[in-house]
Amino acid sequence: MIFRFAFKIRQRIFRQTYLSWEYFDKQTKIQKLIQPAYQSVLRTMAGASFGEDCYVSPTSHVYTTRISLGDKSYISGGCIIRGTVEIGRNSGIGTNCHVAGPIRIGSDTMIANNVSIFGFNHGTKPTETMKSQPCFARGVVVGDDCWIGANVSIVDGVIIGDHSIVAAGAVVTTDVPPWSVVGGVPARIIKRRLPEEVNVLDEMIGKTASTG
């Protein structure tokens, strides 16, 4: 009976740790107790600020200089979060992601499991070992209403426009225009998400502006 009770508690804690979106509809009593305590520690030790009803898995590793989460955003279990990170409202980071800021993630954005986002890079001069060269950081921006698929890598300096989709396994090395679907290594535009008539309207507006 003791083991059964222990495994039952473990199941309740770890389910929402890794299926973190369930926290907002099916909060367990245990998670209700854990979250305020963990968020209090992160405010003190990781420069964290939180909107209303946020969730950060207690099995995540948050070592930020500053991090902010908007209302109803979450970070799932196994994630490593460091540097400076800003997350908008109603956005989520899936399990086992590595997010190294400076990073800005918009609102209503989904980041799947095992995604790597690095907002810095190493020097690569051939006259010195790369390990000995200083890092530089331009940062990464992921817009509003984006879907970043599993196992995606996003490198320093990239801006992913609003409403875009990055297919699973892609390596994003250049900016992604809004309303785009990209995939591959390196990632390239596969198609636009906007209906054809909207694209035509965009072209008409562009032509009017250029002749006006």
The C-alpha atoms of residue 14 and residue 128 are separated, in whole angstroms, by 46
Catalytic residue numbers, as ranges = 122
The C-alpha atoms of residue 178 and residue 155 are separated, in whole angstroms, by 18
Q: Which amino acid is at 182?
A: V
The C-alpha atoms of residue 16 and residue 30 are separated, in whole angstroms, by 10
Would you say 192 and 199 are in contact if contact means Cβ atoms under 8 Å apart? yes
Helices 29-45 and 2-18 cross at an angle (nearest 10°) of: 60
The C-alpha atoms of residue 87 and residue 97 are separated, in whole angstroms, by 14
Backbone torsions φ then ψ of 162, nearest 5 degrees:
-55, 150
Please report where in the chains the tokens 């892609």 appear, as a residue.
Answer: 170
Backbone torsions φ then ψ of 36, nearest 5 degrees:
-60, -40
Q: What number of CA atoms fall less than 13 Å from residue 193's CA on the CB side?
A: 16
